[in-house]
Amino acid sequence: MKKLHNSIEATIEQLNNDDSPWIVGFSGGKDSSLVIQILISAFCQLPVSKRKKLYVFYCDTGVEIPVLKDYIKNTLERIRKEGRALGVDISVKAIKPAVKDRYFVKVIGRGYPPPTNIFRWCTDRLRIDPIQVAIKQYVGDGEATVILGTRFSESGERDKILKANALDKPYLFKQQGHQKTTLFCPIVDFTAEDVWEGLLCIKGVSAIDLHLISKIYKEISGECPIIRLPETNPCSKGRFGCWTCTVVRKDKASKNLILNGYKSLEPLYEFREWLLSIRDEIEFRCTVRRNGQGGLGPFRLSARVKILEMLIAAQEASGHNLISDAELSEIYRLWQLDKDNSNYAEDLNKHLANQSTRTQQSCAGV
Ligand code: SF4
């Protein structure tokens, strides 16, 4: 397969000419899976002295589709083991967004409306910033090369942004807002069919279980890049994304998984639908925005209490852990701040008084 051959050759050439640390974002999807295979293959064709350490970052946003987490965890372990067996020093890191930036802290704590294409506050906070923080933590403040499974032809919008950020060598792009990061995208010219063919054809590496990933794709159809260009399509367009994603109107991924027998996702699916349905309802929103101007502001404190109740109910019904103690503490802290702010205090006291004992007990036990 010519594209695969070219991609591996370009990766070898880049490795030979690039002294900066290499970091690859892994989401579990087919694109980042092929990128990992290409990297391992290229590393193996270099003399041992040239094989730099490869960092594999997986970003657990806290709202990843729960049933896919085991697959991703096992795959990361396979990648690490295969690297060791082949003499490639692979360091796997699972990273998380800062508590203040987690999805439910923003929505339930601060009252952010769930993201849409127009107000898409999530991608930077949940997926891009944590990677940048991890880069600083693990490889320092200097230059770094981030390897992505981004591809042309996924959307016209993405193509435009990729072209605007292209550097003077094939596969290389700058990352907007992060001057010290260069993006290396070895499958940028692949179609979706090429990616599957690449996974099938690549020789000598087996970290990705092709049978399993094909099965998952049949059940879900898609993936979510970890580090991406924030202005492009939502990362969960039928893919490995956040189960809460409202940037897409329909959550096809969870729907398909439920149809394929993952019934524990039903309460999550219903919660997301409900959250989307109340997003723009005036009675759920404050009348003052955070910038002090009138208009549809954050969710009222009473609405945030209700959203937390619904989330805890979904958690109990599904058996999946949906919110952590650290997130709950931050949420209560933020509620207190708004309770002391005349713009947002509204009717919290009344609603807190009405809050069911069941929710309070559930929250305490999360
Ligand atoms: S999957 Fe959706 S909610 Fe999650 S970061 Fe991507 S666009 Fe935002």
Tell me the residue type at 2.
Answer: K
pLDDT of residue 365: 33
Q: Is the pLDDT of residue 361 over 50?
A: no
Distance 104 CA to ligand 1 centre (A): 13
Please give the C-alpha separations between residue 95 and each of 7, 12, 35, 280, in angstroms, as whole numbers: 28, 28, 19, 32
- Please tell me the least confidently modeled range out of 112-116, 154-158, 307-311: 154-158
Residues 99 and 185 in one domain: yes
247 CB under 6 A from ligand 1? Answer: yes
pLDDT of residue 108: 98
| 236 CA closest ligand 1 atom index | 1
Residues 64 and 162 in one domain: yes
Residues 228 and 289 in one domain: no
Task: Report the percentage of the chain scoring pLDDT > 90.
Answer: 50
CATH number assigned to the domain comprising residue 169: 3.40.50.620
236 CB under 6 A from ligand 1? Answer: yes
Distance 49 CA to ligand 1 centre (A): 40
pLDDT of residue 316: 97
The sheet with strand 22-25 has its strands ordered as 90-95, 54-59, 22-25, 144-147, 178-184, 172-175
pLDDT of residue 177: 76
Helix (H) or strand (E) holding 335: helix 325-339
Residues 6 and 63 in one domain: yes
Count: domains in the chain? 2
Two tokens at 116? 């849409």
Q: Quote the DSSP letter at residue 108.
A: I
Q: Is the pLDDT of residue 48 over 90?
A: no
Distance 316 CA to ligand 1 centre (A): 24
Two tokens at 215? 């099965």
- Please tell me the least confidently modeled range out of 70-79, 100-109, 343-352: 343-352
Distance 127 CA to ligand 1 centre (A): 8
| Sequence-distant (≥ 6) Cβ neighbours of residue 289 within 8 angstroms | 295, 296, 297, 298
Residue 154: closest CA among 46, 52, 237: 237
215 part of a folded domain: no
Please give the C-alpha separations between residue 339 and each of 27, 117, 284, 290, 305, in angstroms, as whole numbers: 38, 30, 16, 14, 12
154 part of a folded domain: yes
- Compute the average pLDDT of residues 43-58: 90
Residues 227 and 351 in one domain: no
Residues 198 and 294 in one domain: no
pLDDT of residue 311: 98
Residues 289 and 156 in one domain: no
54, 90 Cβ separation under 8 angstroms = yes
Residue 358's pLDDT band (boundaries 50, 70, 90)? very low
Going by alpha carbons, the residue nearest to atom 5 of ligand 1 is 123
Tell me the pLDDT tens digit for each residue of 51-76. 889 999 999 999 998 878 888 999 99
245 CB under 6 A from ligand 1? Answer: yes
Q: Which of 104, 106, 119, 123 to mutate to test the pocket of ligand 1 (most atoms within 8 A of CB)?
A: 123
Residues 152 and 286 in one domain: no
| 248 CA closest ligand 1 atom index | 2
Question: Which residue range is the domain that position 143 belongs to?
Answer: 2-113+122-209+223-235
181 part of a folded domain: yes
pLDDT of residue 239: 61
Q: Is the pLDDT of residue 178 over 80?
A: no
Mean pLDDT score across all residues of the chain: 86
pLDDT of residue 162: 81
253 part of a folded domain: no
Distance 355 CA to ligand 1 centre (A): 30
Top-confidence range, 136-150, 212-226, 269-283, 345-359 = 269-283
Residues 27 and 126 in one domain: yes
pLDDT of residue 75: 93
Q: Is the pLDDT of residue 203 over 50?
A: yes
Tell me the pLDDT tens digit for each residue of 238-267. 466 899 999 888 888 888 889 888 999 999
178-184/144-147 β-pairing? parallel
Tell me the pLDDT tens digit for each residue of 11-29. 999 999 998 999 998 988 8
Q: What string of DSSP letters covers 141-192?
A: SS-EEEE----TTS-HHHHHHHHHHB-SSTTEEEETTEEEEEEE-TTTT--H
127 CB under 6 A from ligand 1? Answer: yes
Distance 130 CA to ligand 1 centre (A): 14
pTM: 0.81
pLDDT of residue 164: 82
